[in-house]
């Protein structure tokens, strides 16, 4: 199967799905097909254009010196996690507008409402990225309450002129 055929196939599949709406995220389209369950706070599918992908490993609520921020306060840890994600995305030349996927790992699902509240200050809640939320027994640091990883898609870099 060649690239042109695959592109047409993806375009047909995307057209068959109900779009969650246009996105300002450099062409990433977020879809929630009517044939799947309704979602609360995430999209079912993200279709990325050709471009560069930025992967951000799981971020915990650590300050620059590696000290945990927030203690046992889930919301305070979430605030630091998203500040860390923002810094990491910027290091890769991306922003939350470019994020297509978020993976959440929490030690207690009771923190999910606070997590969503913090997350929604960083993302476009009208066209949220695809995501996975998993409760785990513990994280690599016993005092960490959550960890979040991100995948962002950037447009292709502009072609550089050869110059004289």
Q: Which two tokens stand for residue 153?
A: 């898609």
Task: Supply the Cα-derived Rg of the chain in whole angstroms.
Answer: 18
In this prediction, residue 52 carries a pLDDT of 85
Cα distances (angstroms) measured from residue 35 to each of 46, 113, 130:
16, 27, 17
In this prediction, residue 4 carries a pLDDT of 39
Output the CA angle 144-74-81, nearest 5 degrees: 65
Q: Which two tokens stand for residue 48?
A: 């990325």
In this prediction, residue 26 carries a pLDDT of 52
Mean pLDDT across the chain: 80
In this prediction, the residues of the chain whose per-residue pLDDT falls under 70 are: 1-27, 46, 157-164
In this prediction, residue 131 carries a pLDDT of 95
Instruction: Say if residue 144 is exposed, middle or buried (CB neighbours under 10 Å; 0-12, 13-18, 19+).
Output: buried
List of domains in the chain? 18-155 (3.30.1330.40)
Residues 6+ apart with CB under 8 A from 46: 28, 29, 30, 31, 100, 101, 129, 130, 153
In this prediction, residue 31 carries a pLDDT of 77
In this prediction, residue 158 carries a pLDDT of 56
Tell me the pLDDT tens digit for each residue of 19-61.
444 444 456 777 777 877 777 777 777 677 777 888 888 999 9
Does residue 33 contact residue 17 with C-beta atoms inside 8 Å?
Answer: yes
In this prediction, residue 157 carries a pLDDT of 64
């Amino acid at each position: 199967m060649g690239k042109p055929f695959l592109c047409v196939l993806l375009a047909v599949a995307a057209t068959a799905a109900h779009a969650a709406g246009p996105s300002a995220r450099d062409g990433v389209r977020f879809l929630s097909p009517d044939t799947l369950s309704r979602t609360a706070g995430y999209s079912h599918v993200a279709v990325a254009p050709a471009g560069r992908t930025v992967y951000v490993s799981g971020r915990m609520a650590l300050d620059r010196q590696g000290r945990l921020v927030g203690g046992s306060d889930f919301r305070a840890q979430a605030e630091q996690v998203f500040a860390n994600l923002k810094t990491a995305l910027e290091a890769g030349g991306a922003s939350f507008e470019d994020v297509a996927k978020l993976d959440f790992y929490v030690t207690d699902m009771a923190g999910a409402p606070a997590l969503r509240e913090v997350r929604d200050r960083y993302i476009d809640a009208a066209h949220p990225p695809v995501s996975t939320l998993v409760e785990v027994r513990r994280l690599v640091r016993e005092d960490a309450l959550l960890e979040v990883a991100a995948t962002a898609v950037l447009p292709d870099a502009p072609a550089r002129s050869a110059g004289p």
